[in-house]
Structure 1
Amino acid sequence: MYTQEKAVWYAMRATFRKELDAQNILDKEKIRSFIPMCYTVTLRNQRKVRELVPAVRNLIFVYATLSDIKKVKTKVGYLQYIVNSRSKEKIIVPDEQMKRFIGVASTYDQKLIYLKPEEVNLKQGTPVRIIGGSFDGVEGVFMKVKGARSRRVVVLIHGVTAVATAEIEPDLVQVIP
């Protein structure tokens, strides 16, 4: 009996800062991927240049079936799974969690803060939903973030990364019971 594989979001590393190369190859294979990006200003030939670059080094999320990823990995040796340090299982991000993460990370807001999972203590925050503004509908945890003056909404991808929104007006934050 034939069972069709289900596509899921895999958290992966593209070593040697080749995440954009990996994304180009995945695009050619018609495989969806997402790289959190941000704008930076660099100096080139004594001129300031604003460019869009990966916000988290070597990180790429790939939406595909396991067999499709295995096929791509035979061509792309630097693309590796991120595994859970305890269970040694590949990290698969639930669709809803990935949707929230993409909702925040794809705004390219310069005030977004990317955090390592160990920098986030969800027990100290309050589960919230943003109502209105550019982050409308995003759910996360309202908490104090290192390096920020005020509390922010944090969306976490367990074991991989987290992103904290720009400052949010308190009247746009709704506590989730």
Structure 2
Amino acid sequence: MSLSEKHQWFAMRATYRRGMQIKSLLDEKGINNFIPMRYEIQLKNGRKKRELLPVISDLIFVHAAQSELQQVKYRIPYLQYMIDIRNGQKIIVPDEQMRQFIAVAGTYDEHLIFFNPDEVNLRKGTKVRIIGGDFEGYEGIFIKVKGARDRRVVISLQGIIAMAMATISPDLIEIIEEPKK
């Protein structure tokens, strides 16, 4: 890796449901990575068990320099870049956006609702900033989402995944930009 090459968050797919296996390999190599997870009730041998499972089975974010990641990919062929279909480029998530996403998704809060971005129409929402509490300074779109009684702040990562946060008190939300009519 050259000194000028910076670490970036690459959105990647771990084919054949090998996300957790790839996460272990990356952890062993000291490469920062993140898989959005949530607790789910699973039935095993007739007993209910609460397990922490990936939200999307093949999604993994990897924070590395391009050259470092290429070396890893050479040894792990089932780790693949996600490509933006609009421009054919690898999907790279900005550091600040990823930091906010990890901070919220990493709480494993059962009130978080995850979506494919095409399931929510963010254009209908209001751009907001949270001005108090644990997530002060975070920005998202305030919108009504399927599966929730009230409007929620949604954080979206570039057409990969969207996440509706737990209900936030309206007095902790500041409007940045009204929806376009």
TM over 0.5: yes
* Cross-structure match for 1:75: 75
Contact 1:117 1:159 in 2 (8 A): yes
* Cross-structure match for 1:35: 35
Q: 2:103, 2:43 → 1: CA distance?
A: 30
- The aligned runs of 1:78-157 (5 Å cut-off) are 78-157=78-157
Q: 1:135, 1:3 → 2: CA distance?
A: 33
Contact 1:117 1:156 in 2 (8 A): yes
Query: What SS is found at the alignment partner of 1:149?
Result: coil
What is the CA distance between 1:147 and its match in structure 2? Answer: 2.1
What is the CA distance between 1:3 and its match in structure 2? Answer: 5.5
* Cross-structure match for 1:158: 158
* Cross-structure match for 2:22: 22
* Cross-structure match for 2:167: 167
Give the counterpart letter for 2:40 in structure 1.
T
* Cross-structure match for 2:64: 64
Q: 1:88, 1:16 → 2: CA distance?
A: 23
Identity of aligned residues (%): 53
Deviations 1:10-35 (A, max 9, x none): 00000111111111111111110000
Q: 2:51, 2:150 → 1: CA distance?
A: 27
Give unmatched runs, 5+ long, in structure 2: none
Give the counterpart letter for 1:153 in structure 2.
V
CA RMSD of aligned residues (A): 1.4
Give unmatched runs, 5+ long, in structure 1: none
- The aligned runs of 1:50-61 (5 Å cut-off) are 50-61=50-61
Q: 1:162, 1:125 → 2: CA distance?
A: 13
Q: 2:130, 2:107 → 1: CA distance?
A: 15
What is the CA distance between 1:134 and its match in structure 2? Answer: 3.8
Query: What SS is found at the alignment partner of 1:71?
Result: helix
Give the counterpart letter for 2:162 in structure 1.
A
Query: What SS is found at the alignment partner of 2:17?
Result: coil
Q: 2:142, 2:91 → 1: CA distance?
A: 24
Contact 1:56 1:114 in 2 (8 A): no
* Cross-structure match for 1:47: 47
Q: 1:158, 1:98 → 2: CA distance?
A: 10
Q: 1:9, 1:165 → 2: CA distance?
A: 22
Q: 2:21, 2:146 → 1: CA distance?
A: 32
Deviations 1:21-79 (A, max 9, x none): 11111111111000000001111122211111101120000000111111001111110
Please report the TM-score for the alignment, with normalisation by the length of structure 2. Answer: 0.91
Q: 1:176, 1:118 → 2: CA distance?
A: 23
Give the counterpart letter for 1:174 in structure 2.
E
Give the counterpart letter for 2:171 in structure 1.
D
